[in-house]
Amino acid sequence: MENQANGLGKVNKKLTSVEKATSTILKNIPVLPSHEEIVLNSLGKTLAKPVTALLSNPPSNVSSMDGYALKNSDIDNGVLEFKVIDESVAGKSSSKTVETMQTVRIFTGAKIPHGADRVILQENINSLGNNLIKINKNNLENNNFFIRKAGMDFKLGEKLIDKGEVLNTRNISLCVASGNSWVTIRRKPKIGIISTGNELLKFGEIQNSKNNDKIISSNDIFLFNFINQLGGEAFILPTAKDDIKSLTNILDEANDLDLIISSGGASVGDYDIVQRALEKNNFELLFWRIAMRPGKPLFFGLLEKIPFLGLPGNPVSTGVCSIIFLTKIIQKFFGRQVSENIAMMRVNCSLDKNDHRKDFIRSKVIKGINNDYIVEPFAKQDSSQISLFAKAQGFIIREPHENKIKKGTKVPVLLISENI
């Protein structure tokens, strides 16, 4: 394994590739257990088992319009006058059998009576009185019988929603319509967030003349919302000071979590104490430092069998690493297919040859003249610029040692969800 640790201070200098880091992380993320839950309480939760139809919809052939149900063979034989023998409405169908030259007045959603196989629209008939009607042959819809066949929407036993899908208002309605009152879902992963640094002010605290060397902690707020939007359950743990005891005390209280994330303290400076504090808690480091930009100091390991993801402190690095790695971690927790939304787009400028790190270039996406999409990288890519990260719509992906790219070349772009 790349960057195999013999102790936190003895790690190989070789950087772990993004692909190897992803593989190592996902191997150590379990699929969470499932349980049954009433469908009305399942909004935003992930299916552990597919939903199958417990009935057919419609349960029988029904009319799609208001009109008259009759035999199509009568129309083919030139019969235009019919006797109305009954009425069929939704919830109260006719029990009579339609014979030649007979018809049943029918309304939208009503069951087609026995013997009938066509509906004539009510605007295409004239009343003759005494329960007799005459069809206006010139207005017949020859190719439309206005009948919804039994099971046209879905059939008994048909798979309607696959496992791994997130239940939204539309597919919850489908569950109910198909007779499903309960669904089997995965529980949400409980994820703790630890920010580190003496320089951090808590969300809501204001800088003043006494603390003007402080910065407002935004990484924990980003991670909290990011995790919750992906379906997890986030917890902001106390902010750790730049000393081992402070962080150790927080780790001692971080129980009953599926994942712990730290932000900051992942580098090699004198005050980057996360790994040193972890070492005192029997932490197993699986890799540290990856060949990507931004996000090189990222590390991952197991703290008493709890996965621990150490993110860099720079806000953009935290954001980019979260989109690339944390998204996949939560997908794995839910048993979903691990995937990325990558599109090929023409770049509107030349890109220089890349170095040994995989690069994720913050960019905006614009619509081209031919209704295709063009990607435009921001001129500045500093990992502290939150304003540009907030405007980014995707990352141009540059492979290590990739050659220079000419303007107009199609490049892979990792698209960012509009909800992030």
pLDDT band at 198 (very low <50, low <70, confident <90, very high): low
φ and ψ at 276, to 5 degrees?
-65, -35
Give the model confidence (pLDDT) of 267-306 as tens digits. 655 446 787 788 877 899 999 999 999 999 999 999 989 9
> Architecture of domain 62-148 in CATH?
Beta Complex (2.170)
Q: Choose between 314 and 21: higher pLDDT.
A: 21
Distance CA 349, CA 405 (A): 9
Q: Does 202 have pLDDT greater than 90?
A: no
pLDDT number for residue 205: 62
Q: Report the candidate in 389, 371, 368, 372 with the shortest Cα–Cα distance to residue 380.
A: 389
pLDDT number for residue 3: 38
Question: 361-395: b or e for each residue (b if 16 or more CB lie within 10 Å)?
Answer: bbbebeeeeeeebbbebbeebebebbebbeebbbb
pLDDT > 90 in the chain, percent: 73
Give the model confidence (pLDDT) of 74-106 as tens digits. 999 999 999 999 999 999 999 999 999 999 999
195 sits in which H/E element:
strand 190-195
Long-range pairs for 142-145: beta carbons < 8 A, 24 or more residues apart: 145/72, 145/117, 145/118, 145/119
Q: Does 257 have pLDDT greater than 90?
A: yes
Q: Where are the domains of the chain?
A: 18-32+188-333, 34-57+153-186, 62-148, 342-415
> Looking at the domain 18-32+188-333, which fold is it?
Molybdenum Cofactor Biosythetic Enzyme; Chain A (3.40.980)
pLDDT band at 255 (very low <50, low <70, confident <90, very high): confident
Give the model confidence (pLDDT) of 32-67 as tens digits. 999 999 999 999 999 999 999 999 999 999 999 999
pLDDT > 70 in the chain, percent: 89
> Looking at the domain 34-57+153-186, which fold is it?
Molybdopterin biosynthesis moea protein, domain 2 (3.90.105)
pLDDT number for residue 270: 45
> Looking at the domain 342-415, which fold is it?
Beta-clip (2.40.340)
